[in-house]
Amino acid sequence: MKDRDIREHAFTGPRPNRIRHARRLARLTQAKLAEAIGVGASAVAQWELPSGTSPTAEHLERIATVCSVSFEWLATGRGAAVQGVAETPAIDVGELAADEFEDRLLVAFRRVPRRKREAFVRWMEEFF
C-alpha cells in the first residue's frame, strides 16, 4: 500500500472534511456524488462547507455506500475510513454484562474491598 493510501485510510477530521475526503477517495465530483445519491450538487457543496448544512442519516448512508467508506467513520470519525480495513473496536462486547443479573453482580463485586475479592471469587467458583 502506498504512503498516500495509508494516510487516506487513517484520515480524521470534522464531518464536512470526511465527506469531501470520501468523495475524493471515490474519485467523484460534487455533481457526480449528488447524482449518485439523488440530491442536487448544491447540497453536497453545503455538506462540505465547515459552516454548511448537515446531511441526514439517510444521505450519510448513501454517501458511505457510493464512496465505499464506513458509515461509522463518515458519521462520527471513529474507525477506519475504508471498509474492510481491520479496525479496533471501541469496546469488546464480550466484556459487557449479558443481562440484568450479570450487571447487578458486577456492580456488587465492585463494592467488595480489593483485599476480599480473591476470597469472594474462590467462593463463587467452589459454589458452582
pLDDT in tens, 23-63: 998 999 999 999 999 999 999 999 999 999 999 999 999 99
CA distances from 50 to 47, 53, 89, 126 (A): 8, 9, 28, 60
Cα 2 from chain centroid (whole Å): 24
Higher pLDDT among residues 57 and 11, named by residue: 57
- Domain definitions of the chain by residue range: 4-76, 97-126
Q: What is the pTM of this model?
A: 0.59
CA distances from 90 to 8, 12, 49, 78, 118 (A): 21, 16, 29, 9, 29
Name the CATH superfamily, with its identifier, for domain 4-76: lambda repressor-like DNA-binding domains (1.10.260.40)
pLDDT at 29: 95
CA distances from 99 to 21, 102, 104, 121 (A): 40, 6, 9, 20
* Residue 69, beta-bridge partner list: 82
The interaxial angle of helices 15-25 and 57-67, nearest 10 deg, is: 30
How much of the chain is in helix, strand and coil states, percent to nearest 5?
60, 0, 35
Residue-averaged pLDDT of the chain: 83
